[in-house]
Amino acid sequence: MSELPCPLCSADTPLDGGEEAGDSIICAFCFSPLKVTVKDDGSKTLIDNS
Ligand SMILES: [Zn+2]
């Protein structure tokens, strides 16, 4: 279980930990479509997928 900040509302969006790069999720707070990306260092980040 981890959390990443939503790029739109800055709320920490919970992840189940099994997300892969390119997975689509919905922000639990603003309900915006987001996409998981993985940076070169292996850390995950969320981008706007609308
Ligand atoms: Zn959000």
Distance 2 CA to ligand 1 centre (A): 15
Distance 12 CA to ligand 1 centre (A): 8
Tens digits of residue pLDDT in 19-44? 899 999 999 999 999 999 999 998 99
Q: Residues, the chain, total? A: 50
Distance 29 CA to ligand 1 centre (A): 5
pLDDT band at 17; cut points 50, 70, 90:
confident
Q: Are strands 12-15 and 2-5 parallel, antiparallel or unpaired?
A: antiparallel
CATH no. for residue 10? Answer: 2.20.28
Distance 45 CA to ligand 1 centre (A): 13
Domain of 31 in residue numbering reads as 2-48
State how many domains the chain has: 1
Note the pLDDT of residue 3: 92
pLDDT band at 6; cut points 50, 70, 90:
very high
Residue 38 CA: distances (Å) to CA of 28, 30, 41, 45:
20, 22, 8, 6
Judge whether residue 45 has pLDDT over 80: yes
Distance 48 CA to ligand 1 centre (A): 9
